[in-house]
Every structure is written in structure tokens, then in C-alpha cells.
Amino acid sequence: MTHYKRPGSRLRRPFILGLTGSIGMGKSTAATMFEREGVPVFDADAEVHRLQGPGGALVAAIEARFPGTTGPRGVDRQELGRRVLGNRHELAALEAIVHPAVGRAQKKFLARHRARDVVVLDIPLLFEKGGWHRVGAVAVVTAPMWIQRKRVLRRPGMTNAKFKAIRGLQVPDRVKRARADFLIETGRPKSETHRQIRRIASCFHAQ
Ligand SMILES: CC(C)(COP(=O)(O)OP(=O)(O)OC[C@H]1O[C@@H](n2cnc3c(N)ncnc32)[C@H](O)[C@@H]1O)[C@@H](O)C(=O)NCCC(=O)NCCS
Ligand SMILES: Nc1ncnc2c1ncn2[C@@H]1O[C@H](COP(=O)(O)OP(=O)(O)OP(=O)(O)O)[C@@H](O)[C@H]1O
């Protein structure tokens, strides 16, 4: 694999690699592997958890718009999920509260790591929300659908209906794969996935 060079951007740092994939495809696991290769990772989902967790900055705004979905432990995500997943209008209202705050945290992350060669933005909705136009390249985490389904359905609180609703909100895996600069396959042993990630990370280190 050759080194990846963004045209005309030798002095622009860091190179931003977007990491995305549909539910259960293995994004979080892949993100941890990038970290092990020394690449800083911004985890958008973890940021949402922080903002919605105990004492989180968005708990009050979410309670105001979705009464009864928060408590001493922050947002009750099961309950909030029941209200918004499958209801585009309600989901858009939640996104309008959450996404700007995540965007601010992402900006701070990029500023903190501006001296690095490469950073990863782990963003579940990279294709759905247009973020892929703002990154240098995109790595898509993918696995056969039967493996995705098996992984997701064994999560506590997950039902067939919820899985269907979430899949309906996401750009299909085959479209994501077609748009990817790099594919990370997770339907295979983790050691092989890690090897793919090591090769991708090596494309971006000091040129
Ligand atoms: C709806 C919420 C409360 C459900 O929480 P829960 O813990 O039950 O599910 P979880 O967060 O693990 O999401 C399950 C799957 O749904 C996907 N998903 C979550 N939000 C969205 C969305 N706005 N659009 C499409 N898919 C979504 C996730 O990527 C994941 O694949 C939570 O996902 C949320 O607050 N979503 C809004 C913020 C958001 O857009 N987050 C995702 C990107 S950072
Ligand atoms: N080769 C592999 N690479 C990555 N994950 C794997 C692999 N083999 C098995 N898995 C398992 O698949 C699951 C993937 O879950 P993970 O939380 O990483 O997915 P995700 O894409 O972040 O999910 P979500 O979009 O729902 O947040 C984990 O339980 C992980 O251990």
C-alpha cells in the first residue's frame, strides 16, 4: 500500500481519517485498534454518552424537550431511544440538541492534536450527515449482514423492531463500501482486522 497524500495539502495537519460503519459493524473495536497504533481517535458516540451522562451538559435540554427521559443517572437512553428511533421528527429534535455540542468537542480535539500526522474521527453518521466531505479519507468498517445481525441482537434491550428502525435510518452498508477509501473487514479474526488497520495507519505516518 502506498502512502496516502491529500493533493496540495503537505502542510495541512493533521490528516483527518473518518471512520464509520453501520450499527454493530465493529467501529468501536476498530477505533481501539487505531489507538493502539498511536493514532488519536475522537469517538463521537463516547462524547454523546458524556454529554448525556450524570451531570452531562445536555441533560437539562433533553429533559426540557423530552420530559421523563432523564434522572439522577443522566439520560435514560432506552427510554429516549423508544421516543425517537422510528420517529424522524422527534429524532431530528434530539439531533438538533446533540450534534452542535459534539461538533464543538470535535473542534477542540482537532485543535489539541494539530501537530500530529493523522487523527481518526470515529463518526457513526459520517455519510448520513455529510461529514464525509470534510475529512481527507474515509475508512468503512464492514461485515456480512448475518454477522452484524447476530452481534446486534445479543445486546441487552435490542429487539428486531429496534434493529430494523435503526437500519432504516442508516446509509446501507453496500453504499458505504462503495464510497470508502479504505475497507476494514470485521467478519474475520480480530488479528486480521488489526493487521488491516496497521497497514492503513502506516499510510499516513510522517512522509
Ligand atoms: C437515540 C439514542 C438515545 C439511543 O441510544 P441507545 O444507547 O439505545 O443506542 P445507541 O446510541 O447505541 O445507537 C444504536 C445505533 O443507532 C445509531 N444511531 C444513533 N443515533 C442515530 C441517528 N440520529 N441517526 C441514525 N442512527 C443513529 C447508532 O449509530 C448505533 O448504530 C442515542 O443513540 C442518541 O442519543 N442519538 C442521538 C445522537 C446521535 O445522533 N448519535 C449518533 C452519532 S454521534
Ligand atoms: N474482527 C473483528 N473486528 C471488530 N469487531 C469484532 C471482530 N470480531 C468480533 N468482533 C465483535 O463485534 C462486536 C462489534 O461491536 P462494536 O461495539 O465494535 O461495534 P460498533 O460498530 O461500534 O457498534 P454501534 O454502531 O452499535 O456502536 C464486538 O463485540 C467485537 O468484539
Please state the pTM of the whole predicted model.
0.91
Q: Could you give the ipTM of this predicted complex?
A: 0.91
> Which one of 25, 27, 29, 41 would you pick to mutate in the ligand 2 pocket, going by the greatest count of ligand atoms within 8 A of its CB?
29
Q: Which residue, by CA, sits nearest to atom 12 of ligand 2?
A: 26
Residue 7 Cα to ligand 1 midpoint, Å, equals 34
Please report the pLDDT score of residue 207 as a whole number. 46
Q: What's the average model confidence in pLDDT over 163-190?
A: 95
Please report the pLDDT score of residue 181 as a whole number. 96
> Which one of 59, 66, 79, 98 would you pick to mutate in the ligand 1 pocket, going by the greatest count of ligand atoms within 8 A of its CB?
98
Residue 82 Cα to ligand 1 midpoint, Å, equals 11
**Closest atom of ligand 1 relative to the 22 alpha carbon:** 31
Q: What's the average model confidence in pLDDT over 116-129?
A: 94
Task: Quote the percentage of the chain above a pLDDT of 90.
Answer: 86
Question: Is 85 a pocket residue for ligand 1 (Cβ < 6 Å)?
Answer: yes
Q: What is the pLDDT of residues 40-69, one digit of tens each?
A: 999 999 999 999 999 999 999 999 999 999
Domains assigned to the chain: 12-40+113-207 (3.40.50.300), 54-108 (no CATH)
Residue 108's Cα: distance from chain center in Å? Answer: 17
Residue 172 Cα to ligand 1 midpoint, Å, equals 16
Q: Which of 23-27, 137-141, 156-160 has the lowest mean pLDDT?
A: 156-160
Please report the pLDDT score of residue 130 as a whole number. 86
Q: Which residue, by CA, sits nearest to atom 13 of ligand 1?
A: 23
Please report the pLDDT score of residue 5 as a whole number. 55
Q: Is residue 108 over pLDDT 60?
A: yes
Secondary structure (H, E, C), the chain? CCCCCCCCCCCCCCEEEEEECCCCCCHHHHHHHHHHCCCCEEEHHHHHHHHHCCCCCCHHHHHHHCCCCEECCEECHHHHHHHHCCCHHHHHHHHHHHHHHHHHHHHHHHHHCCCCCEEEEECCCCCCCCHHHHCCEEEEEECCHHHHHHHHHCCCCCCHHHHHHHHHHCCCHHHHHHHCCEEEECCCCHHHHHHHHHHHHHCCCCC
Q: Which of 7-11, 125-129, 153-157 has the lowest mean pLDDT?
A: 7-11
Q: What's the average model confidence in pLDDT over 183-188?
A: 97
